[in-house]
Amino acid sequence: MLYHVTDFEIVDDYTLHITFSDGSIRVIDFEPILHGPVFGPLRDVETFNQVKLDEDFGTLEWPTGADIDPTVLHDWPEHVGNIIERRRKQFAVTS
């Protein structure tokens, strides 16, 4: 099934309350994945908070070019562990 982000709200540092096209809601803390050349700059809270809804693609995007497939966002608990592990290996993250 394809999902689209329809709305979001910043609720804390690196944390968004996201509403999807099927009416579901997910609160996601993005801090653990903010590594590398595209996502790393989002550790600056002011930059992170520049997130926008791309209505054409139904996802969230940041000024660094970072975005995440809306289906991955919708099914975040199924994906986040693998994303964190890949980023740790790729960018030599130790914590």
pLDDT of 93 over the 90 cut: no
Mean pLDDT of the chain, nearest integer: 94
Regarding the domain with residue range 5-91, which homologous superfamily does it belong to in the CATH classification? Answer: NE0471-like N-terminal domain (3.30.2020.10)
* pTM recorded for the entire structure: 0.91
For the segment 60-76, the average pLDDT, to the nearest whole number, is: 96
Query: pLDDT digit string (tens) for 1-37?
Result: 899 999 999 999 999 999 999 999 999 999 999 999 9
What b/e readout covers 33-69, taking b as 16+ CB neighbours within 10 angstroms? bbbbeebbbbeeeeebeebebeeeebbbebebebbbe
CA-to-CA distance for 45 and 87, rounded, in angstroms? 19
Whole-number pLDDT of residue 95: 59
